Structure 1
């Protein structure tokens, strides 16, 4: 996200992590079927939390690449 210029707090990764697990987790085949998720599906993830601790964020996350 940082490479795309998106400043997101820690909880911003939770939705993405859940989606990755749903798409790749071996125990979620039935879930994907029930939700009709396949290779043609698209997902929108909303990140509503910015960097709540900007000093720590700047220390941990490298600046965006040019």
Structure 2
């Protein structure tokens, strides 16, 4: 049994919501020049990932 099989579905969704924000913060901290150059596409991708999870997966848990 692998790691994701042992987790609850709500935990996986919560990790999916936190992961794009966490990766953006790490990118901002460690690669500031890259983040400054591409801040708009990075934030649009993060926003799209968050929107997808909230709209498509979120109603399954209501």
The TM-score normalised by the length of structure 1 is: 0.39
Greater fraction helix: 2
Q: Whose RCO is larger (CA < 8 A, sep 6+)?
A: 1
Structure with the greater alpha carbon radius of gyration:
1
